[in-house]
């Protein structure tokens, strides 16, 4: 099946969004300060702490955001409104510094997940469907390449393939038992796997906020950049999924690699 030109253009746009530099490079450009300076100021055990905070934030967001949204396929996404709210939480977090991350991140993540779902709906997803809900959560694993990534393991379709088994198990569990409890094992495994990648982006955000003189204004800018980044990831992801529904996954993946 041959791609229509409009769809080919959409796929090129999706690839440009999904394969662009990660959040660290964007924050460095914003602050005009190497983010490594912020990492030097983080506590020694910060990697463990950020992993715990990230997984807890994702778990809370999943149960508070996507699973309470109503269907409205094709409706335009409210990106600006979500940015304003996340920017506000970033200002509060920036004012109180790193200790506030454990409070600020679950709120920001929940808002971002609602924004992701909003974008999904605008690309024709039916949010009440389990596959669409899980696809929204997947976006947090698509944070763009990081310096710690092996280039061969950071591509969009490579990451989706790595998550595929956990996605399938979570979907099967949810179809059979729903989400009566936060401890649904298959969903916990998926969230854990996604949190491992999302925590890289959160660490980079935390490092930026650790730079002296960032304060509330810097927190607003960093959080605005943070949600903007994941809105881009969501747009690219759901363009690809829309095209997969039309042309099939294999054709879309093969074409993606050549555009």
- What mean pLDDT comes out for the span 237-249? 97
Q: Band the pLDDT of 256: cuts 50, 70, 90.
A: very high
Residue found under tokens 């956990």: 166
Per mean pLDDT, which of 39-43, 73-77, 180-184, 238-242 is the most reliable?
A: 238-242
Neighbours of 21 (CB within 10 A): 13
With beta carbons less than 8 A apart as the criterion, state whether 17 and 236 touch. yes
Start-to-end C-alpha separation, the chain: 16
- What mean pLDDT comes out for the span 70-77? 61
Per-residue pLDDT reduced to its tens digit, 7-39: 999 999 999 999 887 777 777 777 767 777 777
For residue 204, pLDDT beyond 60: yes
| Residue 227 pLDDT | 83
| Residue 95 pLDDT | 46
Query: What is the percentage of the chain residues whose pLDDT exceeds 70?
Result: 74
Cα atoms in the Cβ-side hemisphere of radius 13 Å centred on 18: 28
Average model confidence (pLDDT) across the chain: 79
Q: What HEC string does the chain produce?
A: CCCCHHHHHHHHHHHHHHCCCCHHHHHHHHHCCCCHHHHCCCCCCHHHHHHHHHHHHHHHHHHHCHHHCCCCCCCCCCHHHHHHHHHHHHHHHHHHCHHHHHHHHHHHHHHHHHHHHHHHHHCCCCCCCHHHHHHHHHHHHCCCCCCCCCHHHCCHHHHHHHHHHHHHHHHHHHHHHCCCCCCCHHHHHHHHHHHHHHHHHHHHHHHHHHCCCCHHHHHHHHHHHHHHHHHHHHHHHHHHHHHHHHHCHHHHHHHHCCC
Nearest CA among 69, 1, 20 for reference residue 244? 1
Per-residue pLDDT reduced to its tens digit, 75-118: 666 666 556 655 556 555 554 456 666 777 888 888 888 889 88
197 CB burial (10 A radius; 0-12, 13-18, 19+): buried
The model carries a pTM of 0.83
- What mean pLDDT comes out for the span 226-247? 94
């Amino acid at each position: 099946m041959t791609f229509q030109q409009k769809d080919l253009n959409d796929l090129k746009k999706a690839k440009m969004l999904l394969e662009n530099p990660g959040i660290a490079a964007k924050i460095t450009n914003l602050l005009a300060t190497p983010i490594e300076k912020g990492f030097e100021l983080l506590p020694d055990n910060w990697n463990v702490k950020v992993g715990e905070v990230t997984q807890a934030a994702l778990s809370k967001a999943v149960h508070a955001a996507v699973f309470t949204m109503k269907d409205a396929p094709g409706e335009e996404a409210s990106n600006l409104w979500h940015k304003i709210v996340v920017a506000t939480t970033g200002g509060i977090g920036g004012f109180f510094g790193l200790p506030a991350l454990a409070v600020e991140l679950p709120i920001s993540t929940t808002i971002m997940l609602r924004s992701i779902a909003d974008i999904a709906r605008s690309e024709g997803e039916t949010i009440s469907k389990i596959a669409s809900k899980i696809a929204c959560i997947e976006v947090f694993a698509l944070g763009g390449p990081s310096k710690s990534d092996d280039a061969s393991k950071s591509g969009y379709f490579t990451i989706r393939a790595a998550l595929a088994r956990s996605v399938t198990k979570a979907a099967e569990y949810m179809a059979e038992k729903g989400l009566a409890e936060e401890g649904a094992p298959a969903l916990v495994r998926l969230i854990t796997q996604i949190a491992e990648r999302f925590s890289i982006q959160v660490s980079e955000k935390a490092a930026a906020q650790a730079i002296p003189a960032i304060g509330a204004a810097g927190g607003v800018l960093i959080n605005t950049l943070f949600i903007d980044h994941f809105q881009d990831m969501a747009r690219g992801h759901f363009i690809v999924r829309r095209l997969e529904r039309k042309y099939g996954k294999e054709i879309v993946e093969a074409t993606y690699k050549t555009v």
